[in-house]
Homo-oligomer: A and B are copies of this chain.
Amino acid sequence: MKPKIKDVAKVAGVSPATVSRVLNNRGYISEKTRENVYKAMKDINYFPNDLARSLFSKRTNLFGIIIPTINNPYFGELVFHMENICADLGYKVLLCNSLNRVDKEKKYWEMLVRNQVDGVIVATHNRGLVDNQEQYNLPIVAIDQYLSDKIPIVGSDNYGGGQLATNYLLEKGCRKIVHFNGPLDLETPANLRRKAYEDVITKAGRVPITYEIKDVFSQKIQLDVIERLFAEHPDVDGVFTSDDLMASTLLEAANRKGKDIIIVGYDGASTTRLLLPNLKTIQQPVQLVAETSIKALVEIVEKGKLESMPFETKLPVKLIT
Please list the residues of chain A having a beta carbon within 8 angstroms of any beta carbon in chain B.
Answer: 45, 47-52, 54-55, 60, 69-73, 76-77, 79-80, 83-84, 87, 92-97, 104, 107-108, 110-111, 113-116, 135, 219, 245, 248-249, 252, 270-272, 274-277
Contact = CB atoms under 8 A, between A and B. Distances in A.
A181 B110 CA distance: 45
A270 to B, nearest CB: 7
Contacts of A245: 274-275
A72 B113 CA distance: 30
Given A45-B135, A271-B271, A274-B248, A83 B97 contact: yes
**Number of identical protomers:** 2
B83 A51 contact: no
Given A50-B115, A70-B76, A84 B110 contact: no
A313 to B, nearest CB: 22
Contact of A95 (B45, B79, B274): B79
Contact of A271 (B45, B72, B135): B72
Contacts of A114: 47-50
A77 to B, nearest CB: 5
Contact of A79 (B47, B70, B84): B70
Which 5 pairs show the lowest CB-CB distances between chains A and B? A71-B80, A76-B76, A50-B114, A275-B275, A95-B95
Contacts of A116: 49-51
A92 B97 CA distance: 11
Contacts of A60: 51
Contact of A84 (B97, B252, B276): B97
Nearest to A116: B51
Given A49-B116, A71-B270, A275-B276, 13 more contacts: A50-B114, A50-B116, A51-B54, A51-B116, A69-B80, A70-B80, A71-B77, A73-B271, A73-B275, A83-B97, A87-B104, A248-B275, A252-B277
A118 to B, nearest CB: 12
A5 to B, nearest CB: 13
A249 B271 contact: no
A146 to B, nearest CB: 24
A276 B217 CA distance: 16
A114, A135, A272: most-surrounded residue (chain B CB, <10 A)? A114
B115 A92 contact: yes
A93 B95 contact: yes
Contacts of A277: 252
A95 B270 CA distance: 20
Contacts of A73: 73, 76, 271, 275
A276 B249 CA distance: 10
Contact of A83 (B95, B107, B115): B95
